[in-house]
Amino acid sequence: MFAAVFALAVAGCSSSGGTSDSAGPVITDLTAAMLVSGDAFPQFAGGEFESDGVTTFDRADHPTPDDDDGCSAMSYRVTGESHDAGDQRGRVTLTNPDTADEYRVTTLRLGEPFDVQRFADQCMQATSELIDIEGMPPGTVSAVVRTRSGKLRGYNGLGEVRGVLITVILVPGRTESLITPGDVAQIYQAQADKLLAA
C-alpha cells in the first residue's frame, strides 16, 4: 500500500537547502533509539503504535520495476522495499482504529546517497498536487496524492538528515479520514529532531 502511494506520485518542493554537512556528521549506524515513539504522531484514543525496530540487510533485494523511467525503482527505494546489502531500515506505524488511517515513517541509511530532488522532479505525475506544507524543513519535498477520479490516496513527505532518508506516508482509511498535511510536518520534524540529536 505505502509503496503504491509513492509510486503514484511524489512532488512538491519546499525551499532549497538542508544538507548533512550543516546538520552534523553522516550517521553510519542507524539504531532503534533514533526512531520516533508514539508521541510523535497525532494523538487519539486507542491508537495502535507499532515499531519494526531497525533492520540491517545482509543481501540486496530489488523488486522488478514496472516502468522504464526509473520512478518505480526509486519509489521502492524510498519506502525501503528495495535495498542493497548493508542498508538499514527503521519503520514505525500508527493506526487509528476508528478511521483506519495509517501514519508511517520510514528511516533509511543507504550505502549511497539518494537524490531527493531528482526523485521529486522526475517522478511527479498529474495525479499529484504540489503542496507547501507549513513546518516542513528546507530541502524536503511533499505532496498530496489522489486517484484520477480525485479521491484522496494520501500525503507524503520526504527528506534527508545526516545521511538518513526520512519518508513520511499518511494513508486515509475506509471511513472519514482525520489525516491532515500538518501531520506530515509534525511527524517528519519529530524524526528529524531524533536524528539531529543522535
**Using H for helix, E for strand and C for coil, what is the string for 38-77?**
HHHCCCCCCCEEEEEEEEECCCCECCCCCCCCCHHHHHHH
Query: What does pLDDT average to over the chain?
Result: 84
Give the pLDDT mean for 142-171: 91
Residue 64 has pLDDT above 90, yes or no: no
Give the pLDDT mean for 142-159: 88
Q: How many domains does the chain have?
A: 1
Three cell numbers written together for 149? 477520479
Nearest residue to 2 via CA among 165, 158, 154: 154
Decide: 95 and 114 in contact? Cβ < 8 Å: no
- pLDDT recorded at residue 125: 53
Confidence of residue 150 (pLDDT cuts 50, 70, 90): confident
Q: Which residues lie below 8 Å from residue 144, measured CB to CB, with a gap of 6+? A: 12, 128, 129, 131, 152, 154, 155, 181
CATH code of the domain covering residue 98: 3.40.1000
Please tell me which residue, 41 or 71, carries the higher pLDDT value: 41
Residue range(s) defining the domain that contains residue 159: 2-197
Give the pLDDT mean for 70-96: 89
Confidence of residue 26 (pLDDT cuts 50, 70, 90): very high
Nearest residue to 165 via CA among 59, 97, 82: 82
**Phi/psi-derived region of residue 8, left when phi > 0, alpha when psi is between -120 and 50, beta in every other case:** alpha
**Phi/psi-derived region of residue 179, left when phi > 0, alpha when psi is between -120 and 50, beta in every other case:** beta
Chain segment 171-197, per-residue pLDDT in tens: 999 768 899 999 999 999 999 999 999
Residue 17 has pLDDT above 60, yes or no: no
